[in-house]
Chain A
Amino acid sequence: MTTAAAGIETVAPRRRDRWPPLVPLAIVALLVLCGLFAPWLAPRSPVEGSLGERLVAPFWMDGAKPGHPLGTDRHGRDTLSRLIHGARISIAVSVVGITLTGAAGVFIGLLAGFFGGWVDTLLMRLVDISLSLPGILIAVLLSVVFEPSFTNVIVVVVFLLWPSYARLTRGETLGLKQQDFVALARVAGCGSLTIMFRHIVPNLAPSILVLATLHVGYVIVLEAALSFLGVGIPPPTPSWGVMVADGRGLIEQAWWVSILPGIAILVTVLSLNILGDWVRDRLDPKLRQV
Chain B
Amino acid sequence: MTTRSIERRTFLKRTATAAVAVLGAPLLSARAAAQGDRLVVAVGQWGTETPFAWRHVQAEKPLWDCVYDPLIMRDPKTFEYRPGLATEWKPSNEMRTWTFKLRSGVKFHEGFGELTAEDVKFTVEQSFKPDSLGGSAYFFRNHVDRIETPDKLTVVMHFKSRQWIVPSLFTQYVGYQNTISKKYFESVGEQKAAAHPIGTGPFRHVEGKQGDYHRFEAVPGHWRKTPAFKELVIRRIAEPATRLSGLRTGEIDIAQVFGDYLTQAQKAGLRIHETPNAAQYWVILTGQTTPDREDYCPACPWAGDPKDARSLDNARKVRLALNLAVNKKAIYSGLWKDRGGDTPYSYYYYPFHRGHSADWKVPPYDPERAKKLLAEAGHAGGFEVRVNPYVQLVAQDGPDVMEAVALDWEKLGIKVKRVPEATSSFGPKGRLRKTNKTFSVYGSPPFDEPVAGWERVIHSKGAFNLLLDGAYDEEIDATMREFDTERRAKLTQALGQKLYDGYHGVMLGMKSLTWALGKKVNTWSPLAYVPAETNYDSVS
Contact = CB atoms under 8 A, between A and B. Distances in A.
* A, B in one complex: yes
Interface of A: 48-52, 54-55, 74-75, 144, 147-148, 230, 234-236, 248-254
Of B400, B407, B419, the most chain A CB neighbours within 10 A belong to B407
Contacts of A55: 260
A75 B404 contact: yes
Contacts of A254: 260
B267 interface: yes
A52 B421 contact: no
A48 B406 CA distance: 10
A234 B389 CA distance: 10
B260 A250 contact: yes
Contact of B330 (A52, A235, A248): A52
A235 B420 contact: yes
Contact of A49 (B261, B264, B407, B419): B407
A50 B407 CA distance: 7
Contacts of B331: 51
Contacts of B533: none
Given A51-B335, A51-B404, A249 B240 contact: yes
A235 B389 CA distance: 9
Given A48-B410, A75-B403, 5 more contacts: A50-B407, A51-B327, A75-B400, A144-B424, A234-B420
Nearest to A144: B425
A52 B410 CA distance: 16
B82 interface: no
Nearest to A253: B264
Given A48-B407, A51-B330, A51-B334, A234 B260 contact: no
A254 B261 CA distance: 12
B348 to A, nearest CB: 27
Contact of A74 (B244, B327, B400): B400
Interface in B259-276: 260-261, 263-264, 267
Contacts of B424: 144
B418 interface: yes
A75 B407 contact: yes
B422 interface: yes
Interface in B441-496: none
Contacts of B240: 249
A98 to B, nearest CB: 25
B194 interface: no
B241 interface: yes
Contacts of B333: 51
Contacts of A248: 241
Contact of A147 (B267, B407, B421): B421
Contacts of A51: 327, 330-331, 333-335, 404
A74 B330 contact: no
A148 B333 CA distance: 31
Interface of A is mostly: loop
A230 B420 contact: yes
Contacts of B425: 144
16 contacts: A48-B407, A51-B327, A51-B330, A52-B330, A52-B334, A74-B400, A75-B404, A144-B424, A234-B418, A235-B420, A236-B403, A249-B264, A250-B260, A252-B264, A253-B267, A254-B260
Is the interface on chain B under 10, 10 to 19, 20 to 34, or 35 or more residues?
20 to 34
Contacts of B420: 147-148, 230, 234-235
B160 to A, nearest CB: 41
A52 B407 CA distance: 12
Contacts of B407: 48-50, 75
A144 to B, nearest CB: 6
Contacts of B244: 249
Nearest to A54: B334
A271 to B, nearest CB: 30
A50 B330 contact: yes
A235 B406 CA distance: 11
Contacts of A147: 419-421
Given A51-B327, A235-B403, A235-B420, A253 B410 contact: no
Closest 6 A/B residue pairs (Cβ): A51-B334, A51-B330, A249-B241, A235-B418, A54-B334, A234-B420
B340 to A, nearest CB: 14
Q: Which of A54, A144, A254 has the most CB of B within 10 A?
A: A54
Contact of A253 (B260, B389, B419, B422): B260
B403 A249 contact: no
Contacts of B334: 51-52, 54
A75 B418 CA distance: 15
B516 to A, nearest CB: 13
Contacts of B261: 249
A249 B260 contact: yes
B418 A236 contact: yes
A52 B420 CA distance: 25
Contacts of A236: 403, 406, 418
A253 B263 contact: yes
Contacts of A250: 260
A21 B241 CA distance: 40
Nearest to A235: B418
A23 B444 CA distance: 55
Nearest to B424: A144
Contacts of A54: 334
B132 to A, nearest CB: 27
Contacts of A148: 420-421
A249 B261 CA distance: 7
A247 to B, nearest CB: 10
A235 B388 CA distance: 10
A74 B422 CA distance: 21
Nearest to A252: B264
B256 to A, nearest CB: 14
Contacts of A234: 418-420
A52 B330 CA distance: 6
A249 B242 CA distance: 9
Interface string B400-426: 100110110010000000111110110
B231 to A, nearest CB: 29
Contacts of A251: 241
Contacts of B400: 74-75
B107 to A, nearest CB: 44
Contacts of B330: 50-52
Interface in B323-372: 327, 330-331, 333-335
A254 B420 CA distance: 25
A44 to B, nearest CB: 13
B272 to A, nearest CB: 16
Interface in B291-344: 327, 330-331, 333-335
A52 B333 CA distance: 9
A50 to B, nearest CB: 7
B506 to A, nearest CB: 16
Contacts of A230: 420, 422
Contacts of B421: 147-148
Contacts of A49: 407
Contacts of A48: 407, 410
Contacts of B327: 50-51
Nearest to A249: B241
Contacts of A253: 260, 263-264, 267
Contacts of A50: 327, 330, 407
A178 B173 CA distance: 76
